[in-house]
Structure formats: C-alpha cells, structure tokens
Structure 1
Amino acid sequence: MPKILIVGGGYAGFYTAWKLEKWLRKGEAEVTMVDPLPYMTYQPFLPEVAAGSIEARHAVVAHRRHLSKTNVVTAKVTHIDHASKTATITPPVGEPYEFAYDIVVVTAGAVSRTFPIPGVADQALGLKTIEEAVAIRDTVLTNFDKASLLPAGPERDRLLTFVVIGGGFAGIEVFAELRSFATSLLKSYPQIGFDDIQFHLIEAMGRIMPEVSVPTSLWVIDNLDKRGAKIHLNTQLTSAVDGVVELSTGEKFETDLIVWTAGVMANPGIVRHTDLPIEERGRLQVRPDLRVGTADEIIEGAWGAGDITAIPDLSGGGVGGFCVPNAQHAVRQGKLMAQNIVAVLRGEGPKDYIHKNMGAVAGLGVGQGVFQSGKLAIKGPLAWIAHRGYHGLAMPSWERKLRVVWGWVNNFFLGRDIVSLAAVESPRAVFVEFASRPKPAAGAAAPAKAASAAVTPPAPVTVPAAAAAAPAAKVTAPRAPRKAPVKAPAAARATTATDAPTEAATPVK
C-alpha cells in the first residue's frame, strides 16, 4: 500500500486524516500522522478559554479518539528529504529515526511571529496554544488574588494592568474577552474597583481588525473605550524589559501580563529543514490544487495546506493574492486535500481550492460581538450569538460540540468558574515541602563532626570532674535517690553558656 505521511495535526492535518479515513477504501493506503501534541487545538476558542468561558480541554480534539484508522505518532518531524521520500521523526524519548513515505502532506501550521524588541521574549505570552490561553487566565486570577491584599500603589497597579500587542482579530478578541472577564470578577473582589483595572491594546497601524469595514472597527473601539479598555493606534512597543512597557508615544507603565498577537509565521521547524520549495516569505509553495509546486512545475507526491503554505486565493479576496492564515481556510483546505489525494490515487484529476470569504465574526466578551459580511454589519448581542453559533457548529465532532455548548449553558446559570490552577506548573511543590527524608547514618555523622572539630577546635573549657563523668553514669549506673544539682563555679557556668558542648551543659544529679 502507498504510505501517506501527514506532518502536523492542526486544522488542516486533522481534517485531512479524518476525511481520508472516510473516503479511502480498505487497503488503499496507509496513513500516518505525526504531531508533537496528542490533540488538535481549535484556536478561535482560545480567547474564551483565556476568559474562563470555555473549559480548556473542551477546546481541543484528541487525535487518538477521533482518528481510529490513522497511525498517530506523538513526535516531531525534524527533516523532510523529498528527493529520497524520507522524513526524520524525533520522538520525545528514544533516538530519531527515518520514515519512508510515498506521499507527504505538510500541514505543520504557524507560530507566533515576534520582533527583536527588548523584553518581549522574556515577558510576553503568545496566543497560539491551549497552554498559553490557560496561563493567561490563571495569571489574571492570581493577580486579582494578590492585588486584593495590597493597598493602592505601584505594585497593585502593576498587577491590575493588562496589555495586548496587536489589533487583528485574535488581539481584539482576547483583549475584549479579558476586559469582560475582569469586570465579572469585581463582585468577588470587593477590595478592587472598576477604575483600578487598566487594559491597553497596542496597534502599530492606524486601525484595528482589517477584515471588517472602517465604521465597524470604529464601533469596536468606541465599545471597548466605554468598557474601560484603551486602544493605542499608530503606536509601537519599544521595550518591555522587566514588565515595564515603553511605547513610541513616550508613554510608560508597568504590567504583569503581556499578550502578543502581532502576527504569525510558517513553522520554522519544517520550512527550514526540507528540500521542498519555499517562497520568499518563508512559506511552502503550493498550487491551487494543493499540490506542492508552481504553475509550471508539480512536485509529485507532495501536498500542503494551512498556515504553513502560500496558496493562491482564486476568489480574489486574499492578501497579496494568497489565502490568509485562518481556520476558515485551513479546515476547507484539509477536506479538499483528502478528496484530491484519493482522486489522484485512483487516477483522477484534483480540484482547485476556491473559497469566497463568508464574512468575519468576533466575540467581544459575554453578550458583545461584531459580524461583517460585505456591507452588512451586525453589532452587539446578535453578533455575539452568531459568533457562538458559527464556532459551536464548526468545532469538529459532535462530542466536542456538545461539551462546548454544555459549558456555555452551565456558565449562563452558574457563572464562570474563577478558580486559578497556576500551581499546576509546580505540582510537586507541596509534596516536596512536607515529605520526610531519611536521616544521615550514624557512622556518616561522626566523621563529619570530627572533621568540623579539626577545622575549628572549641575553646578550652574548665568543667568539674563530676560533670564530665555524668553522661556515662546516667547510662550504666542504677537509678539513685534525687539530689540537688551540683553547681559549677561561676567561671565554668559563664563559659558553658557560650562555648561548651551540649554534653558539658547537662546538670549533674
């Protein structure tokens, strides 16, 4: 059977494997999917995970649960040599090994793209993984706990100041969701007032959310401003060393949480370690039919989709002529790629990918949202319902859909869970603090004491003969009638209090 290797288990990779299981006949091909994580993350839900509106585990899809016919390998692909049709797989334990394939599908996604701004690498969190979203949520809750115990002052202000870098969809959504989350916490923290919390979004361009119209983006800015969240347009972050945020406008303030959402780049772990063609922006070069190559050349046996690729947007709506890196494209590309791979295996021709953007929808916190489709714009609660309805249905598998929707229903009646699990980062801390440890062996303790005495001998002490003999008498002699303790001379008593060994200070009976 031909061996199909899928590199990456995100949207495009997961949907490719999922649909191949459905459309391949028994014995037609063997499918292996390699990803360092055992699950696919539904990234549009990350802002709601960060704001406590969705349970973290409900925003991911387990590979092994839903890919029953695919060989799932939880490891990294560290090199693709398509000339020899081999890939190097590096597992978390054990040695790397070579995997021979007939067809490779590259869907390794993207990572956060940063700039060499002082302090960003040390202080900021991205918003590409479920772990980052959970860390953001726990940081907000932990900071509220700490700030509620402090008087007004710089340290309290630092804990209650939250910064987001980047005014695209991801940045605006997490910014607005965190503002909604912080407001909902005030009833549980009477020591903290609404005006004590500061939210800042930094955007280098002159507008936010380029996917929507200018009037709609201005409405979002006005809505967030009324909710106490400030957006800095035409402003760049110049430094974030030790949490001290410095802006190109000269403003300066301290924060304990910086969320970076200012762009993504193709996964460098793949595009820098392959002989497949890479275009000038560092993405895998892919044709409209999702085969790797150019209009004039096809790389046989190589396919690509998702954020790691540069795929021409035949609808004419793409940025620079290519499909933008979002879930809407990745999911559809994964489905079509599975269909095209099956078609080629059966001697049929592949279809070109073409998808006209249906619009853009964003959640801005509980009860607030925005939807834009062409000239139609919906704002407020109706757009929020549309946002949840669309993404609830787009979540893969009915099992995941039900978990997410059931969580929303619970929150509606019970409110958001406000328990911080930041201690999970050091789960052994309490156990280690109170764990009993074996005492040093007696033979090992004696030489250590002797060595210590050899280095710093104690000052000479004058002790009565009876006192020196007392310890041995206590061990071997029969119990004697009680007698008044014998007092040592004054000089001896003074010496014993400061320099004498413990045995010499024992009263004689």
Structure 2
Amino acid sequence: MSTTERPRILVVGGGYVGLYAARRILKKMRYGEATVTVVDPRSYMTYQPFLPETAAGSISPRHVVVPLRRVLPKAEVLTGRVTTIDQDRKVATIAPLVGEAYELPFDYLVIALGAVSRTFPIPGLAEQGIGMKGIEEAIGLRNHVLEQLDKADSTTDEEVRRKALTFVFIGGGFAGAETVGEVEDMARDAAKYYTNVKREDMRFVLVDVADKILPEVGPKLGQYGKEHLESRGVEVYLKTGMDSCVDGHVVLGNGLEVDSNTIVWTAGVKPNPALARYGLPLGPRGHVDTRPTLQVQGTDYIWAAGDNAQIPDVAARKAGNENAWCPPNAQHALRQSKVLGDNVISGMRGFPQKEYSHANKGAVAGLGLHKGVAMIVLGKIKIKVKGRLAWYMHRGYHGLAMPTWNRKIRVFADWTLAVFLKREVVSLGAIETPREEFYEAAKPAPAPAAAQPVAPAGERAKAS
C-alpha cells in the first residue's frame, strides 16, 4: 500500500458496483487528482448472472470473473476486509488476508459490499446447503452433481442411489429457476454417458414460499416458466417452505419428505451484515439509506449503490408509485455505478450532484440450453417473449453487460465452441481437497508390528 497526500477515494467492495464505479472515477479523474483504493476479500469481481451457466458447464469459470488489478491498473487494490469505519476521523480499519489490521485514512467513501445469501435458522441448512452467490459455489455445485451421478452409477444400494439422484432447489427467483433449469439440462446430457443412470431415475424438486416463480418477468411468463420446468420433469411446489434438512432428509411445509445429497439454497439475498459495523444509517432490512443522488443520508462524502443500498426509484415514483425502491439487479447496478462515479468526481470538485433515475427496461432469464423467458418494457408497452428467442435475448443482454471486452470475447467464444463441441461432463471434485492424494503418498508409513519372540525348537516340541 502506498502512502500519498492526495485525497483518497476508498471503495469498499470490488463487485459489480465497486468495479464499475472505480473505473468511472479513474476515467473522469485528472492525473494525480486523487488516489482510488479498492478493498475486497477477493481479488476479482464475479458476474453473478452467469453462475447458473457456469454450474452447467456452458461457460468456463475463469471467464465469468474479472481480475481487479488487471482492470484497475491505476488503482490500489487491497485484498482484505474493511472491518470498521470511523466517520469522525475518516479512517477505515483494514483486516488483510494475513497479518495484523491497520488503519487507512480516506476523504471520500463508496460503499459497495453487495449482498449475501438470505438464510433462516432451518435445522441442517448450514451443514447441507449449497449457495449460488460465488464462482466457488457454482464450480462446487457442478462437481457435486456429477459426483452424485458417479455414485449412483457404481452403487448397488438402492437407498444410496435414490438419495444421490434427488436434487432439491429452494427458491424460485432468477437464481433458483435458472440454476435448476441449467443443472437439469446438464444432468440430462451427462446421463447419456452412464450405464446405470437415466434421466428418469433422477428427481428434481423446486420449492418456493411465494405463489409463483420468476416474479421479475411477470405472472404470465412465470407461469410459463413453471409449466416448462414441469414438462422437463421438475417438481415445482409453491407456497411451500423447507422445515428441516438434517443429514439430507428434507422436510417440506406441505408434508413432503425426500432424502437428498444436493440441497441448493437460492431463497433471496440480504445486505452484507458488515454494514452494521460501519455506523451508517440503515433501512428496515439492513440496507444503507441513500438519497436519490446515491449519497448516504446525512453525509456529503459517502455514497452507496447496488444490493447493499436502498435507493429511491425516482422513475417509478414519478409514475405514481410513491414507495418504490430500486430492485437489486444488474440492470440498476450498472447504471448506478456510473452515476455514483460521476457524483464522486462532482463532490470532490464542489459541483452539484445528479439524481439517479432509470425506468425498468424489463428482465431476461435462461432456463437451460435454448430455453428462456424475457419481458421487454418499451414505455407503457410490455413485450413478452419465451422459448429460443428469449434465450438468445438473455445471452445477448448479459454477454454485452459482462465487464471488459476481454471477458465478453471469452464468454462468446465459449458459447460458439459449444455449438460444435459437446458439453464437458467431467467432475473435478478433487480440487476441493487437492493435497489429499499427495498427503497419502508422502505421509510416513506405519511402523511394523512388533515381532513376537520365537521359542527354542525344544520347547516348541514339548508344547506340541
């Protein structure tokens, strides 16, 4: 970390908003005007809308993450966490990956911590659940599902086989519906290469406490999505929660009980709990309370955006919805980060702040290869699309929204190669314990058992 007398703009979080805001600030900033410091526990940003396709093997995991140091060469990138913020002294406490914590002074602050999985105290969830918020979880889910097929193909125990081939997904929003659609697609393809496993042997269960899935695309497309998944053999249970999943025994609120080794939790998100330690004004659900300018309420040097902020939806409020807030999605995050970056520069130079206003343009979702739903909003007209065309729209939108041309090209290259080459169905589960085999080979051999003394020949004869 370098020391400088220039003003420091501290960006807490290197996700979508943090990355784009930092890029915008660096682009608009004059040479030597300020130092931009980005702090995040990971040295890369993950494009989360592509996690379901990554779990299904349609995109290489390395292509959906953006290395912060490569994209922000003119910024300081610190790998660690901001544990506390002293607003009076304008000092943040940084806990690096190794070593002791230290204080870092700042002049302007951007809060872009994003969100974490929203969980509940359900017995067994912490031990059995698999999330879908990070690239590590997507890779882990892919390896785990393929390992279950390996188990089922090689066992003669019917109970073990049934448990391995049952896959339960909790949450029917974008993450849940897209993940179950992609994973079912992958498992269907993979089953062709197994002697003792067929798609008919597998059981996919999607559960949601709401009365519909995919609420972001409207009730009609949500109903189409439900019927489409059911036509592929996915059991969809609405108005249903999960009561427990101890040791993989899943008990649902509707009385259904199943045994499963795979429980994927995508039941919503909540703001990063670290926000509670920053002394910032928070809303009723834990979001940072901001003005339409993205400035945190009561401050003129702190901004927040993305999933960790509650931002008034100016466009919706002008249309008559007085209590509208911006939803946590990539569509808003991309645009908020640009306005935030401009406002930080304006604040540093003493210029007025600009309000963030964006009318919803719709939503797209993929449900597996060549399958999807899309709702496009053109003024007061809503165009609903489903099937292959919606899937192309889903890929086109998110492919272009992927940060940096480097990653855009790599993602489109993955898709192009997939047209000519079959999907990979190899499980690399050993990457989770990569040293295990070496450890077994290198550990000292057990000491030989102590030799028993041999009696003299005469005594052996007497004994006989």
Range class of TM-score, shorter chain: over 0.9
Instruction: Give the whole-Å Cα distance in 2 for the aligned partners of 1:125 and 1:106.
Output: 27
Shift of 1:433: 1.2
2:310 alignment counterpart: 310
2:367 alignment counterpart: 364
1:502 alignment counterpart: none
Check if 1:240 corresponds to 2:240. no
Shift of 1:187: 1.3
Check if 1:418 corresponds to 2:421. no
Structure 2 residue corresponding to 1:288, chosen from 274, 292, 309: 292
Which SS does the other structure have where 1:235 is aligned?
coil
Tell me the alpha carbon deviations over residues 352-372 of structure 1, each in whole angstroms, 9 at most, x when there is no partner: 001111111000100101101
With normalisation by structure 2, the TM-score equals 0.93
**CA gap 1:405/1:83 in 2 versus in 1, 3 angstroms:** same
Number of residue pairs matched?
452
Which SS does the other structure have where 1:6 is aligned?
strand
Checking the alignment, whether the CA contact within 8 Å between 1:80 and 1:274 is kept in structure 2 is yes
Checking the alignment, whether the CA contact within 8 Å between 2:166 and 2:204 is kept in structure 1 is yes
Greater shift, 356-365 or 323-332, is seen at 323-332
1:404 alignment counterpart: 411
Q: How does 1:19-98 map to 2 (within 5 A)?
A: 19-98=24-103
Instruction: Give the whole-Å Cα distance in 2 for the aligned partners of 1:348 and 1:355.
Output: 22
Q: What amino acid sits opposite 1:488 in the alignment?
A: G
Q: What amino acid sits opposite 1:313 in the alignment?
A: D
Q: How does 1:301-450 map to 2 (within 5 A)?
A: 301-316=301-316, 321-374=324-377, 375-435=382-442, 437=444
Structure index of larger Rg: 1
Structure 2 unmatched ranges of 5 or more: 1-5
Greater shift, 430-439 or 40-49, is seen at 430-439
Checking the alignment, whether the CA contact within 8 Å between 1:462 and 1:492 is kept in structure 2 is no
Shift of 1:492: 5.5
Shift of 1:347: 2.2
Checking the alignment, whether the CA contact within 8 Å between 1:83 and 1:275 is kept in structure 2 is no
Instruction: Give the whole-Å Cα distance in 1 for the aligned partners of 2:20 and 2:116.
Output: 19
Instruction: Give the whole-Å Cα distance in 1 for the aligned partners of 2:327 and 2:195.
Output: 44
Tell me the alpha carbon deviations over residues 136-165 of structure 1, each in whole angstroms, 9 at most, x when there is no partner: 100011111111112472210110111110
Q: What amino acid sits opposite 1:338 in the alignment?
A: G
2:3 alignment counterpart: none
Instruction: Give the whole-Å Cα distance in 1 for the aligned partners of 2:262 and 2:462.
Output: 63
Structure 2 residue corresponding to 1:137, chosen from 135, 142, 147: 142
Structure 1 residue corresponding to 2:283, chosen from 279, 286, 290: 279
CA RMSD of aligned residues (A): 2.1
Checking the alignment, whether the CA contact within 8 Å between 2:301 and 2:347 is kept in structure 1 is no
Shift of 1:462: 6.0
1:491 alignment counterpart: 461
Q: How does 1:168-179 map to 2 (within 5 A)?
A: 168-179=173-184
1:13 alignment counterpart: 18
Which 4+ residue blocks in structure 1 deviate beyond 3 angstroms? 317-320, 436-440, 487-494
Shift of 1:272: 1.5
Instruction: Give the whole-Å Cα distance in 2 for the aligned partners of 1:414 and 1:328.
Output: 32
Checking the alignment, whether the CA contact within 8 Å between 1:32 and 1:71 is kept in structure 2 is yes
Instruction: Give the whole-Å Cα distance in 2 for the aligned partners of 1:29 and 1:219.
Output: 51
Q: What amino acid sits opposite 1:103 in the alignment?
A: Y
Check if 1:216 corresponds to 2:221. yes
**CA gap 1:247/1:493 in 2 versus in 1, 3 angstroms:** same
Instruction: Give the whole-Å Cα distance in 2 for the aligned partners of 1:107 and 1:315.
Output: 22
Q: What amino acid sits opposite 2:309 in the alignment?
A: T
**CA gap 1:462/1:139 in 2 versus in 1, 3 angstroms:** closer
1:161 alignment counterpart: 166
Which SS does the other structure have where 1:307 is aligned?
helix
Structure 2 residue corresponding to 1:122, chosen from 127, 147, 161: 127
Instruction: Give the whole-Å Cα distance in 2 for the aligned partners of 1:439 and 1:197.
Output: 43
Checking the alignment, whether the CA contact within 8 Å between 2:365 and 2:374 is kept in structure 1 is yes
Instruction: Give the whole-Å Cα distance in 2 for the aligned partners of 1:208 and 1:428.
Output: 42
Instruction: Give the whole-Å Cα distance in 1 for the aligned partners of 2:103 and 2:242.
Output: 44
Percent identity (aligned): 47
Q: What amino acid sits opposite 2:383 in the alignment?
A: L
2:111 alignment counterpart: 106
Instruction: Give the whole-Å Cα distance in 2 for the aligned partners of 1:141 and 1:438.
Output: 33
